Structure 1
Amino acid sequence: MAADGASSVPTFRPRQTRNPISGPLLDKIFARALAALGVVFGLQAVPFVIAQQPSMQVAWGWIISIAIFGGFIAIGLASTVMRGVETAAAFVAISFLVALITWPLAVQDPTHVQPQVPWLWYLVTVATSAAAVAFSLWVATGYLFLAPVIYGLIRITPSGGGVEPLRAALDASYSIILGGAVLILITLLRQASMSVDTAQNMAVARYSSAIREHATELERVQVDAIVHDSVLTTFISASRAFSPDERALATTMARNAMSHLTTAASVTPFDESSTSLTSMRERIQVLVANLGADVEVRAKGLDDHVIPANAAEALYSAAVQAIVNSVQHAGGDDVSRWVSVNWAREMVTVEVGDTGSGFNPAAVPGERLGVRVSITERLANAGGEASIHTKTGSGTVIRLTWPRAVPRPQAVRTHVVEDEE
């Protein structure tokens, strides 16, 4: 008889993974790299700023210098707290572009050929990098070509040094190539981080959906098992209780059912606590005593071994259902019944057996939930396995083991063996 498949319950709470490549992390790297670039090239340009200051308009020189170098400081501060990085980078890019455009008007004598390279040359790469960080891809690409081209045109004028067009074109091309490499690197890394973040979000969403579906399935099996064990079985026993012993048994089952229903809501399928095998055996003994049936309880090798609480609860509940089935269907006082709890080779085995009438598993109606839900699925969901050895007229032995001896990635099966003649 096969049981409906059910995947095993994870015995750990999944840890939150930390993605090494993500958008926020890359933004922080870009911001601090831009701040470092501004410091390095800014310090390189300071001597030239001081040297060329006498030939520049005083107001322009102070305003532009404070704007550009103040922007570098703003980027450094923003990269530290990761706030306003794009605003600071955009301010630097715009300030540099304004400085380039107004350079011919900033020198005191526009007709006099300046002997030195304009100090803005040392900051072209910083400006194009700031644009790559602050603006969208298309705007940053336009800035990449616009700023070096304007600088090349200024180099041809006397205020920019009056160099030959070829030299100005080479300087502009060099700036475009260097800035383009930075822009390509930033763009590729951003696209890669977006792909990783998207894939991670999809994986987390699918995992969350799977967890919800799994929890729903566990809840369904738990509710089915509780209804069958605690409610339907009690009702059936009460309807068939004619003798005083049968009525006492039905009364005891009703009390147990109410207690079970009261405490069921507090049990979670992901409980990480543990239970000793000794306490589980004692619970079985108490149950047998309350049932008033003659059931021998055996134990071997339990010592101080413990197992997860969800596994212990599944073993106990499945054993209880097997005992109740034996008391109700296997026969009267002439039938021998036993329960054994054994620990060996890192595995716990609970065996419930009797010498009663046995049964034909193939003849059990599908709507009967005792074996399929209360024993098989319940134990499979806890990571265990149930096997049934029975034959009509020759008794039944139900063996419950945890954990499964061999991992089964597919549907868990209930082994049913009909003994040969």
Structure 2
Amino acid sequence: MNPWRLGPLPLKPAGATERELHRMGRRYAVAMRTTALGCVSATALFQATPDRRALVVGVVTGLAAWNVAYARFSSRRWLLPADTLVIMLLCLTQRWTVPPDAVTDSTNWVLAVVTVTAIAHQWLTTVAGGVLLTTAIVVAHLAGNALAIPGSWAGTVPLGLWTFAEAGLSRVLFLLVRAGAQQADRIVAASERARRDAAVAAARRADEREHLAVLHDTAAATLLAVGARMVDGTEPWLAEQAARDLEILAAQPDFSDGDTDLVRLLNQVAGHAPVAVEVRSPAAVPMPAIRATAISAAVREALTNVARHAGVDTAELVVGRAGDRILVEVSDRGTGFAPEVVPPHRRGLSQSIAQRVARVGGRAIVTPRPGGGTLVSLEVPDG
């Protein structure tokens, strides 16, 4: 930024709070000027002598019209130099607009205009620019005093210095408020960075969980079936299943668009399950592919769990509707289990079933009955 910039400060600081501060600074300057000029105008008319009242009325009216332009164009670069020039011309008219007995003291209405202008400028320009503009109007004021009453300028220097002090206090206030705005912007920016970092970390964790779930549902399940001797390696579907596992791990296609038939997907899962599955379902259940895919993956894991842990080689798969929900149940008559004794590292229930269904807006309920089998209920929105 140019340190000698005379126009209004640009609205391009880093943070929203600081940008709003500059907007408020302009509004503050306009409101302060308008209020002060209203009071000053009344004082000017009261002080004017009868022979000069018409002139004072004209000057005050012109000053009011200029203040309207000041409010209208407060964001333009040319405003502050033009405003300073107007106030300097006003200062030079003191010979005709200010009574002689008020020229050199604090009742001088032009001095009030000079003061409020110097204060307002500090909120609209740089430090160096504020010093330059304040110096120009104070010098013009002293020159106007000297023209009105020759030899009086020395007595009005203290008033000029006091104007500098008031402008300096206004600048200090502005800098303190701006520092607070910048600190607020830094806090907001740091919070936003932390939020983004947390979102990225959560996305990475979700990707890792999804990868582990896919690995668990595919290659790990097939290898476990072989290793646990649930198959003897000669089954014709085993090679096909291994090929599908590799295809899923390599590609993992996006099924986020379009619809598919849930029943068709579940029949494929049942046909390649490590246990015999009795399927009871409608002829077709069309639904969004992403949900159907999640359900079929969860059913596959449920059937794999039957083969691993239930101690039976048959299961039942039921598909139906309940209002605006799709219901899928996988049940067996095996040994069942107690949820509280399931080790934390076992991912089947929490990852492959529950979280998969939850990610598509559904829920999974596993109802174990020790010694009486297990029921896995899946429920997702229909549509």
TM category (shorter chain) comes to: 0.5 to 0.7
Q: CA deviation at 1:218?
A: 0.5
Residue in structure 2 matched with residue 355 of structure 1 by the alignment: 333
Aligned equivalent of 1:203, options 183, 191, 195: 191
Question: Is the 1:129–1:183 contact (alpha carbons within 8 Å) kept by the matching residues of 2?
Answer: no
Counterpart of 1:372 in structure 2 is 350
Give the SS at the match of 1:134: coil
1:195-274 aligned within 5 A: 195-239=183-227, 240=229, 243=232, 247-264=235-252, 266=254
* Residue pair 1:296, 1:338 contacting (<8 A) in 2 also: yes
Letter in 1 for 2:363: E
TM superposition shift of 1:221: 0.9
For residues 175 and 206 of structure 1, do their structure 2 counterparts lie closer, same or farther at Cα, with a shift above 3 Å needed?
same
C-alpha contact 1:386 1:400 (8 A) present in aligned 2: yes
SS at match of 2:279: strand
Partner residue of 1:114 out of 89, 92, 95: 95
CA distance in 1: counterparts of 2:362 and 2:150, whole angstroms: 84
**Displacement of 1:151:** 5.5
Shift of 1:206: 2.1
Alignment of structure 1 residues 3-402 onto 2, 5 Å: 22-27=17-22, 79=75, 85=77, 114-116=95-97, 125-126=116-117, 128-136=119-127, 140=130, 150=139, 153-159=142-148, 190=178, 193-239=181-227, 240=229, 243=232, 247-264=235-252, 266=254, 279-291=261-273, 294-299=276-281, 311-331=291-311, 335-344=314-323, 346-402=324-380
3-state SS of the aligned residue for 2:336?
A: coil
C-alpha displacement at 1:254, in angstroms?
0.9
Q: Is the 8 A contact 1:93 1:127 kept in 2?
A: no
| Percent of aligned pairs with the same amino acid | 21
Secondary structure of 1:371's aligned partner: helix
The DSSP-based 3-state class of the residue aligned with 1:397 is strand
TM-score by length of 2: 0.61
Whichever residue aligns with residue 295 of structure 1, its letter is V
Aligned counterparts of 1:298 and 1:221: Cα–Cα separation in 2: 31
* Counterparts of 1:35 and 1:166, CA distance in 2: 31
- Stretches of structure 1 that go unaligned for 5 or more consecutive residues are 1-19, 45-50, 52-68, 108-112, 404-421
Q: Distance in 1 between matches of 2:148 and 2:263?
A: 97
Q: Distance in 1 between matches of 2:327 and 2:174?
A: 60
CA shift, 1:343, in A, is 3.7
Query: Counterparts of 2:26 and 2:355 in 1: how far apart (Å)?
Result: 55
Alignment deviations for residues 145-164 of structure 1 (CA, whole Å, 9 cap, x no partner): 76675455445423578889
Is the CA contact (8 Å cut-off) linking 2:279 and 2:318 kept in structure 1?
Answer: yes
CA distance in 2, matches of 1:402, 1:154: 85
Aligned to 2:47: none
Kindly indicate whether the alpha-carbon contact (under 8 Å) linking 2:143 and 2:153 is maintained by their aligned counterparts in 1. no
Deviation at 1:211, TM superposition (A): 0.6
* Deviation (angstroms), 1:328: 4.5
C-alpha displacement of 1:249: 3.9
Quick check: 1:125–1:175 contact (8 Å CA) kept in 2? no
Whole-angstrom CA distance in 2 between matches of 1:96 and 1:23: 30
Alpha-carbon contact 2:364-2:378 (below 8 Å) kept: yes
Q: 1:34–1:130: 8 Å Cα contact kept in structure 2?
A: yes
Please give the secondary structure, in 2, of the residue aligned with 1:132. Answer: coil
Provide closer, same or farther for how the CA distance between residues 224 and 232 of structure 1 changes in structure 2, counting only shifts above 3 A: same
Distance 1:242 1:230, change over 3 A: closer
1:122-168 Cα offsets, whole Å, 9 max, x none, are 676455534432214x984x679766754554454235788899999
Contact 2:142 2:160 in 1 (8 A): no
Give the Cα separation in 1 of the matches to 2:295 and 2:134: 73
Change (3 A) 1:386 1:324: same
- When the two structures are superposed, what TM-score results if normalisation uses the length of structure 1? 0.56
- 1:158 maps to a residue whose letter is L
Partner amino acid, structure 2, of 1:318: A
- Sort the Cα spacing of 1:211 and 1:343 in 2 relative to 1 into closer, same or farther, 3 A: farther
Runs of 5+ in structure 2 lacking a partner? Answer: 1-14, 42-54, 56-65, 104-108
Q: Distance in 2 between matches of 1:355 and 1:175?
A: 93
Which amino acid in 1 is paired with 2:124? V
C-alpha separation between the residues in 2 aligned to 1:170 and 1:402?
80
